[in-house]
Amino acid sequence: MKCPFCGAADTQVIETRLSEDGATIRRRRRCQACEKRFTTFETADIRLPQVVKANGIREDFKADKLREGFLRALHKRPVPAELMDEAIEGIRQKLLSLGEREIPSRELGEMVMNALRKLDKVAYIRFASVYRSFQDVDDFRDVINDLDK
């Protein structure tokens, strides 16, 4: 850690404390060159991957956008909000565990479809019809037949 006063690279940690919430570490340091003291704070830098759309445009992952998709698909369906929240958090955790900097929107859409398939079949079909751009009744029939298997 560089000294903010003289710019020397050699500093010594004098004291370390964990914050109350356990998410931050506070370190008291002393510069070996100028002897001045300063405090640093360390937190984990956890970033969700960027979503790469079909046209190549990249955008930050937005949990609100994911929630909106779930809400549309589950509109007037008997699925408790807690289950929807768990599904969204499950997708978020899966994205974090992948450790990737980018994820194709197609892969994210498949994660959503898998989660909806477990929650509610009608919501799954609603989402799939928009996501896969169904053109006619045969597309619906194919998805329904897949659900029956």
Domain edges within the chain: 11-43, 50-148
Q: pTM for the full model? A: 0.65
d(CA 47, CA 38): 28
Query: What band does 141 get if pLDDT is binned at 50, 70 and 90?
Result: confident
d(CA 116, CA 6): 57
Mean pLDDT of 14-22: 89
Give me the chain's average pLDDT, please.
91
d(CA 115, CA 141): 20
